[in-house]
Amino acid sequence: MKIVQKTLAGIGLLCLGALFINAFQEAPTDENLEKKIINDYNVYALQVPDYLEFAGERVPLSDPDVLERMDKELLVNTYWQSNGLLMFKRAQKYFPIIEPILAKNGIPDDFKYLAVIESGLTNAKSPAGASGFWQIMKATARENGLEVNDNVDERYNLEMATQVACDYLNKSKERLGSWTNAAAGYNAGNYGISKRLDAQKVDNYYDLLLGQETGRYVFRIIALKEILSNPTKYGFNFRTKDLYTAIPTYKVSVDTAVTDFAQFAKDLGINYKILKIHNSWLRENKLNNASRKQYFIDVPEKGYYSTTP
């Protein structure tokens, strides 16, 4: 089993680079205004906390290499402000769905931040074919009982995908010995991390020499945990009403084919767009269901959408 080796690593640096380039290219020529811009815009070094942990396992910040790598991820993710605000907004909407599933499976709550760096809490699809919040590969999904085809792709069902991620992480912890190693295994594969630990004669992620992506991976999770847990400390200001919230839904059982989801939605008092927003695992405008499998379709409670059929 292997979860895709794909993250959003590096995008923050590119965005920041473009920001600084544009700032210099578009700087005003008026001397007074230019001075005002220089005086008003400040970038500050960040103080790396004296103590950080992931899933109850301490980050060895006394190691200068670890300290520098942690500092880098805090800087990159703090000063990528637009993305940071989006993470706060989406976390308010999706963490309440993810958290109880992690808890039920004995997975530390910190792993919700793994989903943040994997997909930005969106139903993303990678060039390698990994999909959903947890970026699960097709083979991994099928091995864990999810249906994946052109008509239905349950990797886009957040509850079901979170359960698959929990199953994988529990196996990783058992094989690799720590939750930190298990997090790295989610990116590089359990075999890949196990092989490197053996080859380098260590037992700790922080002691491994790894490629850039996996080498940054756990640090990025910890950075997002630290930032999302301490918004004002890192300069993020918002009101509760600025955050996104989940729309209450109820489930409709379907054990037959559905030939037209637009009409199906209309019969439920919503429209096709709203139906697909809440059921992105339905990949087409119909449900084949030749096997008469029982599916549960989420339908929003009345009064939350102004758009009606």
What per-residue confidence (pLDDT) applies to 14?
40
Distances (CA, A) of 280 to 25, 156, 174: 42, 6, 33
For the whole model, what pTM was predicted?
A: 0.86
Dist. CA 84–CA 268, nearest whole Å: 36
Average pLDDT (116-132) is: 96
pLDDT tens, residue by residue, 75-114: 999 999 999 999 999 999 999 999 999 999 999 999 999 9
Q: Which two tokens stand for residue 64?
A: 């200068």
Question: For residue 246, what is the DSSP state?
Answer: P
What per-residue confidence (pLDDT) applies to 43?
85
pLDDT tens, residue by residue, 34-71: 666 566 678 889 999 999 999 999 999 999 999 999 99
Residue 28 has pLDDT above 80, yes or no: no
What per-residue confidence (pLDDT) applies to 306?
78
Q: Give the pLDDT band of residue 308 (cuts 50, 70, 90).
A: low
pLDDT tens, residue by residue, 240-294: 999 999 999 999 999 999 999 999 999 999 999 999 999 999 999 999 999 999 9
Q: Which two tokens stand for residue 119?
A: 């997909």
One-letter identity of residue 30: D
Residue 19 has pLDDT above 50, yes or no: no
> Is residue 49 within 8 Å of residue 226, measured between CB atoms?
yes
Low-confidence winner among 16-30, 99-113, 138-152 (lowest mean pLDDT): 16-30
> Is residue 261 within 8 Å of residue 282, measured between CB atoms?
yes
Please choose, from the candidates 180, 174, 233, the residue with its C-alpha nearest in 3D space to the C-alpha of residue 66. 180
Q: Give the pLDDT band of residue 7 (cuts 50, 70, 90).
A: very low
Provide the b/e sequence for 113-150 (b: ≥16 CB within 10 Å).
Answer: bbbbbbbebebbbbeeebbbbbbbbbebbeebebbbee
Which residue do the tokens 């979860």 mark?
3
Average pLDDT (130-144) is: 97
What per-residue confidence (pLDDT) applies to 42?
81
Q: Residue 287: helix, strand or coil by DSSP?
A: strand
Please choose, from the candidates 231, 245, 246, 252, the residue with its C-alpha nearest in 3D space to the C-alpha of residue 295. 252
- Tallying the residues shown for the chain, one arrives at 309
Half-sphere exposure for 28 (CA within 13 Å, toward CB): 9
pLDDT tens, residue by residue, 208-255: 999 999 999 999 999 999 999 999 999 999 999 999 999 999 999 999
What per-residue confidence (pLDDT) applies to 3?
46
Binning the chain into helix, strand and coil, the percentages to the nearest 5 are: 55, 10, 40
> Is residue 2 within 8 Å of residue 140, measured between CB atoms?
yes
Percent of the chain with pLDDT over 90: 84
Dist. CA 280–CA 296, nearest whole Å: 12
Q: Residue 258: helix, strand or coil by DSSP?
A: strand
